[in-house]
Amino acid sequence: MNGQGEERTAFEIGVVVPKRAVKERDESFDCVEVLVEEFKQAGLTVEKVIGIADEFIKLAAPLETLGRAAAELQIKKPTHIGMDLQFEWDEVEAFVRQPDGSLFSWWERFRCFNHLIYGIVNKRNSAVSLKFDGKEFHWELGESLLKRLEAEGIVKQVFPLHDEIKRKQLLRNWALNWWDFTSQPIDDIYSYFGTKVATYFAFLGMYARWMLFPAALGIMLQLVDLGSSQSMMLPIFFISIILWAVMFFQFWKRKNAALLARWQISYSVVADPGCKVLGLDWSSLQSPVELVKKVGTDRAREKEVFQRAEWFGHMMRFRNDVIIFLTIICLQLPFELAYAHLYEITRPDALKFGLTAVYLLAIQYFTKIGGKISVKLIKHESNESTEYRADSLVYKVFGLYFMQSYIGVFYHILLHRDFKTLRQVLIQRLIVSLVLENLMENSLPYLKYSYRKYGVRHKKRHEKGSSTGKIQFTSRVEKEYLKPSYSASIGEELEDGLFDDFLELALQFGMIMMFACAFPLAFAFAALNNVTEIRADALKLLAMLKRPVPRAAATIGAWLNIFQFLIIMSICTNCVLLVCLYDVEGKWKIEPGLAAILIMEHVLLLIKFGFSRFVPEEPAWVRANRMKNATHAQHMCSKQLLRSISGGEKMILGGGKKTE
Amino acid sequence: MNGQGEERTAFEIGVVVPKRAVKERDESFDCVEVLVEEFKQAGLTVEKVIGIADEFIKLAAPLETLGRAAAELQIKKPTHIGMDLQFEWDEVEAFVRQPDGSLFSWWERFRCFNHLIYGIVNKRNSAVSLKFDGKEFHWELGESLLKRLEAEGIVKQVFPLHDEIKRKQLLRNWALNWWDFTSQPIDDIYSYFGTKVATYFAFLGMYARWMLFPAALGIMLQLVDLGSSQSMMLPIFFISIILWAVMFFQFWKRKNAALLARWQISYSVVADPGCKVLGLDWSSLQSPVELVKKVGTDRAREKEVFQRAEWFGHMMRFRNDVIIFLTIICLQLPFELAYAHLYEITRPDALKFGLTAVYLLAIQYFTKIGGKISVKLIKHESNESTEYRADSLVYKVFGLYFMQSYIGVFYHILLHRDFKTLRQVLIQRLIVSLVLENLMENSLPYLKYSYRKYGVRHKKRHEKGSSTGKIQFTSRVEKEYLKPSYSASIGEELEDGLFDDFLELALQFGMIMMFACAFPLAFAFAALNNVTEIRADALKLLAMLKRPVPRAAATIGAWLNIFQFLIIMSICTNCVLLVCLYDVEGKWKIEPGLAAILIMEHVLLLIKFGFSRFVPEEPAWVRANRMKNATHAQHMCSKQLLRSISGGEKMILGGGKKTE
């Protein structure tokens, strides 16, 4: 596969403009023509496609154009000596290639594209007047053309395009390759979708593979009758499940580290995402580094400023967490309990059905509101990068879903010791997630796509005035444009569709782990579900949706902590389950005093283990100092080193380039 | 203080040789004269002191000699651009000075001294024959002279010397400065004793300061009578103590990070001590890096070799831990329980006293055996550096002490609910540690010193044949030689006296925390003890002992995890205490089934949180790759960078040099 990435420069970005009714006589004033001309001058390869309802500008970038943009962006890339250095086009040989042989990863290419197309500003002597369908407006000096056109509503959308050859390859080798079971071509996924999506699929694959063990155990427990030792089996099953989960996540962390090493992403960058993405404009908004610059170079003052900024940040985050927590406890908890209680006491099934329908509608609405409130709160936090902010959102929203999904089940266990209903609910939910969600995930985007297609056809027919003849969508780019994008059900600004996919996994994990002792067979359902999930998600990404915008993060982020939290929860809930199961005679009465002490103990243990997340080990000023120094060092040695690497070291270090 | 360190080169190393009865006529064959000559040729300043029983060679090194040694050792030092680079004598201006203005830290100087004096080899054409008191032996080609002389028993000891001026300064400002309460001149301690000792005192100071809060709370609880709400106070006290402890250790981590930043020790080095100390010979003995070199550069093979070495190491460590754990459970636990039970049932006080005496003798013996077994086991582990090995030893030996100190107390609580005896035991132990241990710590070394002095005098008198006239020790170096060294009670090879000091703190912490609810006043005792401890330990180090050999580690290492473990234990034990205290009527019977489930829950929670220590997140091969790359990078840019820093950047970055 070596070098293949270089030979072909695919069209990777699409810009959508409406079809013009009137052609300008003088093309130099037509804003679309000007845009195309500027794109060409920026070194991009441009192809114009006239669709049925819109016009599409497809953009590709030759390697040199990308290289120049990368140098302007001061992108840091790993070199053959293992250090991340600023990219320089002249010293291109010094930099390590991607596993597929191309120089830039998809995330880097996307950043470069963004820099190139939004970096087109008016460099002429005066403002240029542009026309579109008769409307005239001015392109001011130093203004970004694309931003202006977006503001005027002329550029409808800028979106990443699928690369048809690679897409088909992946479709064949990955999405439709059911016989591969849980193994996937992770490197190809990485080079096509970027780190975050590839990490998700690597996690999903490993999760599905590891799930086979508890699934087998669960089936055995269900089928084999051990007679007198049967009662001992449940605690043993519980212990092995917990050990399994603990080991799985520790080994996942190792696997993740190995993936990062394979993709040549340095560990420190992942730990401090804020440092890699400093080039983007949204990250440096409120950072204390700015404040320090104003204050000057006095070190004591600097330390003080940092500490104040750090603690203020903590307080804000703490306040927000408290708000969300109280909202969940005071508003959501009573609501969920009320529903669970009503469901329990309602007798006619029709009424039950109606109640559930009302409930389902209500929670849809509530979750949306919760998501919006969370996004608003997070905006006031001074998180260091979008990935941090996305993590903060994930924690908050997961709190909502956690209550929603499990509180009713807890109600059945704790108050009514009603294991039959519990098992019914579990089976019901697992089957729903197995069949319905996998179906929905793929059919919903398809329905949306069909609906939009219909809308366009309908409009077109209306314009033409005739209703005869089927209108075919001939251009692929227009079809892609009509496909829905990979977006989260809440807060599109911070998270993409990965939120929903991870949420599904986390809720499933919680469901099977927390009630493992009540229904060991659940693991088998989950295993089946996960194996299906891999191909269903792959199909969705490749065939049903627009190509997702790449994201920098290369770990599963906040979700790891959520999974860990669910393990702890499941230790506690399963103990309660075991007490309920074995204490059939109700003799093991727990006195209120004892219960209070036990609850206090558990809360304190939780605080002990949770507190280290609240106060970081390294003060902000120490970290800032370290990063400032590192940046300084890299800046100084960058050029000198690059020359020596690309000159002399190529021969010696060439071996490191080969694809693994 | 700037530059002061440079002006004076103090004598820092002492070499002890016996006084010779016969002077060789030809000095060129006298091995001591040859040694002195070679020291002088190596660039060291030499002073010979004739003591009463021995002869002493005092060594000092001019800065240039140290610099050359540092360059030969390829010591990495922080530069003004914040990157650690290999030391070069020509570019000395590029490197950051110590807080006291000297170029090298005490640890670096000690390494250089070691390199210089043990690096004296026979470079002549043939073996040299040397004489000592008539005995003749050969100094072979390429052999280290000092090692040979040590093997022949001529060089009795090589030990670091106190710097009289700085020692007196510290004695005045620190050890005898009782009015400073808990504040100490940490930077001076760092530059005189090195990082590890300074970290200990920084921890001790912070611990003593923080301890005032629970001490005040404990006294309040004891003195104030709140009437009806009195029964609520104990749980509140318990919760605040736990929160206090959790916060203390988190803030200690921050303080430690800040100290590292002040001493210009880079964070990554601390995390990977193996990387900094690679220059020393003991660290590369069994490392997989060596194995890989033999295998070749094939990456897949390399990964495999690393993984096998990593897992083999884990298995060895796991096996050793299991051995120690089983030994403690199967041998020590019954023994301790037997003692506690016998103590309980023995009636006459005289018998009780006799029993305790026998017990105390027995545990002294057992602990020694345990320590020796641990050291032996650890030798089979492939830990990456001595500090790792020392940590491994600390964990194992602490297990012994933990059982020894607390199991009897647990026995009193759990089986007999005997709070009176418990309180008596606690008061007894705290007073013992407050008065006796602080006294012992200082008087024991003094007694040892006096005894040795007496021995020398006695021998001298015997030789002279007369018993008249007091023999005065005139030379300071001889007095120092007779002082005991700062060594651990177990396993001198891996740990020094810090082990005993930390052990004292940890046992005290466990005592006051685990039984906080039974005896809140204990915190006041502990606070008093710790404030005394600071000055007592300082006095011991400065006046009673030889100057300790500096150690590289700059964190409290394994002890942090031990303290954290004690917090968790204390959450659980205090809950048990509360149950015992409030359940006076014995109504809260816990059924065996419930107890089993609760125990299972706690064990699982412990596994969940402990497992991540067993399997590291980053596979060994990933880490090795990263380190190899980093080393490579630093090697490449080292020289180029140094020149540019020491040339141009001095003016700009000069501000960073000032002492903080």
pLDDT at B21: 67
In a domain, residue A645? The reply is no
Contact A617 B587 (CB under 8 A): no
Q: What is the pLDDT of residue A19?
A: 82
For tokens 């000057």, the residue is: A296
Contact B61, B44 (CB under 8 A): yes
Q: Are residues A177 and A151 in the same domain?
A: no
Interface of A with B in 63-92 (CB under 8 A): 81-83
Output the pLDDT for position B368: 83
Q: Do the chains contact at B81 and A629, CB–CB below 8 Å? A: yes
Closest CA to B60 of B75, B76, B79, B40: B40
Query: Which A-chain residues 137-166 have CB contacts (< 8 A) with chain B?
Result: none
Q: What is the mean pLDDT of residues B55-73?
A: 90
Based on the fold, state whether residues A384 and A483 are members of the same structural domain: yes
Q: Helices A349-379 and A333-345 sit at what angle, rounded to 10 degrees?
A: 170
> Cβ atoms within 10 A of the Cβ of B154, count?
21
* Nearest chain B residue to A251, by CA: B617
Predicted pLDDT of residue B653: 41
* Dihedral angle sign, alpha carbons of residues A510, A516, A518, A522: positive
In a domain, B640, yes or no: no
A64 & A107 share domain: yes
Query: What is the tens place of the pLDDT at every residue in A259-291?
Result: 888 887 765 544 443 333 333 333 333 344 444
Same domain, yes or no: A567 and A521: yes
Of A114, A129, A161, the residue at which a domain comes to its end is A161
Residue A128's pLDDT is what? 82
- One domain for residues A45 and A135: yes
Please name the amino acid found at residue B152.
E
**Complete DSSP assignment for A158-226:** EEEPP-HHHHHHHIIIIIS-GGGTT---HHHHHHHH-HHHHHHHHHHHHHHHHHHHHHHHHHHHHH---
The Cα–Cα gap between A249 and A242 comes to: 11
Over residues B633-643, mean pLDDT: 66
Residue B491, pLDDT score: 66
Q: Is A317 among the domain residues?
A: yes
Token output for B366: 């057992």
Point out which residues pair with A60 in neighbouring strands.
A45
Cβ burial of A484 (10 Å; 0-12, 13-18, 19+) is middle
CA distance A161 to A546: 7
**A424 in the same domain as A368:** yes
The residue of A299, A606, A607, A637 whose CB has the most chain B CBs within 10 angstroms, and thus the best one to mutate to test that interface, is A637
Residues B149 and B178 in one domain: no
Cα(B612)–Cα(A564) distance, rounded to whole angstroms?
Answer: 11
What is the per-residue pLDDT across A645-656, written as a single tens digit (0 to 9) for each?
666 544 444 333
Facing residue for B618 by CB, picked from A257, A633, A640? A257
Domain that holds residue A111: 13-161
Residues B108 and B251 in one domain: no
Q: Are residues A189 and A120 in the same domain?
A: no
Structure tokens at A163: 């690369």
Say if residue A133 is in the same domain as residue A218. Answer: no
In this predicted structure, which of A514-528, B457-471, B551-565 has the lowest mean pLDDT? B457-471
Q: Dump pLDDT digits (tens) for A213-261.
A: 999 999 998 888 777 777 778 888 988 999 899 889 988 988 888 888 8
Q: How far is B170 from chain A (nearest CA, A)?
A: 26
Lowest-pLDDT range of A24-28, B258-262, B475-479:
A24-28
What average pLDDT does chain B have?
80
Residue A179 contacts B where some CB pair is shorter than 8 Å: no
Contact B277, B552 (CB under 8 A): yes
Surface of A (557-616) touching B: CB under 8 A:
567-568, 571-572, 575, 578-579, 582-583, 587-588, 590-591, 593-594, 597-598, 600-601, 604-605, 607-609, 611-612, 615-616
List Cα–Cα distances, B123 to B12, B141, B142, B154, B281, in angstroms: 26, 6, 6, 21, 21
Q: Select from B266, B619, B632 the Cβ nearest to the Cβ of A82.
A: B632
Q: Note whether B600 contacts A297, CB cutoff 8 Å.
A: no
- Does residue A449 lie in a domain region? yes
Higher per-residue confidence, B180 vs B636: B180
Residue A189 C-alpha, separation from nearest chain B C-alpha, in angstroms: 22
User: What is the rounded average pLDDT of the residues B392-398?
Assistant: 87
In a domain, A604, yes or no: yes
Cα A395 to Cα A391, A400, B588: the distances in Å are 6, 9, 39
Question: Considering only CB atoms, which chain B residues are within 8 Å of A615?
Answer: 247, 250-251, 254
Q: What percentage of residues in chain B have a pLDDT greater than 90?
A: 14
Q: Which value does ipTM take for this structure?
A: 0.78
The verdict on residue A611 lying in a domain is yes
In the block, tokens 């914040």 appear at B82
Highest mean pLDDT out of A209-213, A309-313, B66-70, B578-582: A209-213
Residues of B in contact with A660 (CB under 8 A): 299-300
Q: What angle do CA B552, B556, B559 make, to 5 degrees?
A: 135
In a domain, A534, yes or no: yes
- Cα–Cα distance between A578 and A570 in angstroms, integer? 12
Mean pLDDT of B522-531: 90
Task: Give this prediction's pTM.
Answer: 0.83
A609 contact residues in B (CB cutoff 8 A): 609
Distance CA B46, CA B477 (A): 13
Closest by CA position to A142, among listed A130, A128, A157: A128
Name which of B555, B622, B625, B651 to mutate to probe chain A: the one with the most chain A Cβ atoms within 10 A of its Cβ.
B622
Confidence of residue A27 (pLDDT cuts 50, 70, 90): low
Q: Is A292 helix (H, G, I), strand (E, B) or coil?
A: helix
Sequence-separated (6 or more) residues with CB below 8 Å from residue A296: none
Most confidently predicted of A199-208, B297-306, B468-477: A199-208
List, for residues A537-567, the tens digit of each pLDDT value.
999 999 889 999 888 888 888 899 899 889 9
Per-residue 3-state assignment (H helix, E strand, C coil) for B337-355: HHHHHHHHHCCCHHHHHHH
**Residue A121 φ then ψ, to 5°:** -120, 165
Cα distance from A68 to chain B (closest Cα, Å)?
25
SS3 B552: coil
Single residue among A140, A161, A182 that ends a domain in this structure: A161
Strongest mean pLDDT among A122-136, B417-431, B535-549: B535-549
Residues B150, B210 within the same domain: no
Domain count, chain B: 2
The shortest CB-CB distance from B607 to any of A81, A246, A608 is to A246
| Mean pLDDT, residues A366-388 | 79
What pLDDT shows up at residue A199? 93
Residue A640, domain member (yes or no): no
The mean pLDDT value of chain A amounts to 80
Residues B253, A633: C-beta atoms closer than 8 Å: no
**Paired tokens of A215:** 């699934």
Q: Would you state the pLDDT for residue A127? A: 83
Residues in chain A within 8 Å Cβ distance of B239: 600, 604
Provide mean pLDDT across the span A586-608. 78
pLDDT digits (tens, 9 = 90+) for B529-587: 899 889 989 999 998 899 998 888 888 888 998 998 899 889 888 888 888 888 777 77
pLDDT beyond 70 at A608: yes
Is A415 in the same domain as A490? yes
Find, in chain A, the residue whose alpha carbon is nearest to that of B239: A604
Q: What percent of chain A has pLDDT over 70?
A: 84
Answer with the residue of higher pLDDT: A76 or A613.
Answer: A76
Q: What is the model's pLDDT at position B383?
A: 64
Q: CB-based contact (8 Å) between B659 and chain A?
A: no
pLDDT the model gives residue A566: 92
Contact B601 A572 (CB under 8 A): yes
